[in-house]
Structure 1
Amino acid sequence: MSRTYFGTDGIRGRTNQWPMTAELAMKVGMAAGKHFKRGTHRHRVVIGKDTRLSGYMVENALVAGFTAVGMDVVQFGPIPTPAVALLAHSMRADLGVMISASHNPYFDNGIKLFGPDGYKLSDEDEMKIEAMLEQEIPLAASQDIGRARRVEDARGRYIHAVKSSFPADLRLDGLKIVVDCANGAAYQVAPSAFWELGAEVVAIGVTPNGININDRCGSTAPQLLQESVVSAGADIGIALDGDADRLIVVDEHGAIVDGDQIMALIAGNFARAGTLRGGGLVATVMSNLGLERFLSGQGMALERTKVGDRYVLERMREGGFNVGGEQSGHMILSDYATTGDGTVAALQVLAALVRSGKPASEVLHQFDPVPQLLKNVRFSGGKPLEHEDVKRVIAQAEAELNGSGRLVIRPSGTEPVIRVMAEGDREDQVKDVVERICDAVAKAAA
């Protein structure tokens, strides 16, 4: 069965356009609720959301669907994605739901599902829920309809859990931190966690109005953070995205530090402390070749997966790794969380900064990345990567890069674009290869 609704990270789309409608959200609640009603206990689902205007609509539709099949609902309000995963497990819920489109603009939204163990659903579970969306779902008897209630201290519970990941012998006293919450789900919890550990916090992106989430702020638009760090004379900048499951850092000079450098730092520190598991870390095919070479030089392995933090986590669980993530900033530290958590990862970076006593620019620069270029080619239909001319150009490029670089070409899992990425020791060669492939894909898609 092909996947119609679920993509690489739940169901996502433009609000009030199929599939991100109230109608489908209610049906998802009914289907997921029915799928996870196992055993004779009173069943419970917990629901969190980010700050999008459409979150109200989607939340109410989900509540209607879950209660209609006899599931009780606990609503958290705006809270990070990793908080939903954490609280689903700690509250013994049968299911956790996060309403968010992550780093996308406000007019998109999405539904992410977590199992009772706090992990994202398997492909098998998602496929079973998809199949039920096309069927008539039996409703609960009148006396068995679920109840809904709000829990007001969910953010406090999450802040406590996040702080427990920070070394007990350290404080953030003397550090001036700018934190950009993208006007999203962490706008209250992240600044509070850093402040409670002793930091001087300059908070930006903390005035959500329903439509400014990720708007020229957050991890996908770090310019505001860069400017704020320099103008405030801060020691470091922390940027989260709309649902706070990814992290980008800015050093004291305003230079951006991506997920590859962060993973290298954390894995190295864990290795020296004797707490690194799996003999290295897990990242995707998009991580820089420089990271792979750096880890190899330190006696650590880099295992690659296809793009998507769920695939990173699957490999981590299979291989016993406790550090993984994506260049884009998803950081999974399985000692502390069951999914990507930008705030937890930021605290590991801050711990390294405090222990070193050095400027962020020195601590965060772990390796020199090789030249890397990523371009997107939008297409309206068909399968341009199966065109013979495209295959020929790709084969030529792979032969040219053999031994000195890598080529990654893939369709996006969330939008109609082909992503073309190349990296290698020669910047001119990388640029030439990417442009040739993009031209061939564009012509095939015309």
Structure 2
Amino acid sequence: MPQSRLTGSRIRERRLFLGQKQSALAAAVGISAAYLNLIEHNRRRAGGKLLQDLARELRTDPRSLTEGAEAALLGALREAGQRMPELTPELHRSEDLAGRFPGWAALVAAQHQRIRDLEQLVEALSDRLTHDPELAASLHEVISAVTAIRSTVGILTEGGEIAPEWRLRFMGNMRDEGRRLSSAAQGLVQYLDAGADRDMAPVVPGEELAVFLDQRDHHLPELEGLHGATRDQVTARINGLIAQVGSLETAAAKDVARQHFRQYVEDAAAMPLAAFQAARLDCGGDPSQLAARFQQTLPAVMRRLAFAPTMDDLPPVGLVSCDGSGTLFLRKALPGFSLPRFGAACSYWPLYQALSRPGHPLRAVVEMPGATPRRFLCQAICLPREALRFDLPPVLDAYMLIEPFDDARMGDAEAHALPVGSSCRVCPRPGCAARREASLLSADAV
């Protein structure tokens, strides 16, 4: 087997381990995200300077990306075998398969990866088709235009004698409605075409901001170092950043961005980046210790942890938050822990448990489903958004910090891992008491 045959698999594995986005890695080495996608799926070779650049950005030795290719194949074969254990595949003979029939082994591994990619795509598209407000508005526009045209046609064909001026008016209305129908249908087709891509176009103001934050990995160096700045200076810096963001097209999206950026400035001023990163290393990234050291709330520390640059000696972290209704309004995804863009998430998440226990920090090890289940440490807290008042009920916000569970660093807690999912629609777990609807990925659905 050629050494570099599955180099792309190792590149992808290392990138996901570091929590790095495909587009960010591609930009760093000077290639397109599409070309990097082909490399990661072993459809293009990476060698020479490109391989050196990729290894540098992935903080590893180039040899580990080439000489470890066979190990990646064996790992993929084991994962594929674990996907359907009822078929009792001979997992202990995966090395024999890879050695004697490398072509068939590579095919099984590629099909396994393809299934994983399709499951992620089904999850994203199902989430969008079920809850997407723009899709609903587009369909309503099409139906409205069709109804108007049918009514006009009925009047012209069944209304008897119609005066010439009225006939011209009805014909003009039908022409205008036809144009509206054509425009609505064209926009719907373009929108659905964009929706077939993993990186979907924004559909609501919060999503416009999310696209920008995902591209920047949620870190905004332009808003660092503003401790002691006047309100006008902060406003000018925020407005300048908004002007640079191409994805913020609507006034509503810009308003949402201003709120998020002001919160970012407050957190950055209270916890300066250099001091925060040093303290983060000193206490191993523990949110409660950081909150005590900087005299800040746990939600503020969680935001700072999620939005600060990833550190080599600490695992990457994700973040999700919701209000009292359970609506998610802040997301920073972590590989392996899917966060729905629309609708409700898994009710077993500690995030939702925190809503019923305001002011009480929760910590739990959870396990996401998959051919190879992955475990994560989740830490959640719910606090009032503003000072409590006697004349109004409290407005509660819950935050949940997510990081990969490390047995070596945190101890073995496999027996205590809580089985969770992302949302019912794409969770394959059978017999779940919290299930609200059937899963697209269950064996019965297939």
Q: Do they fold alike, i.e. is TM over 0.5?
A: no
Structure with max Cα Rg: 2
Name whichever structure is richer in strand by fraction: 1
TM-score norm. by structure 2 comes to 0.22
TM-score norm. by structure 1 comes to 0.22
Name whichever structure is richer in helix by fraction: 2
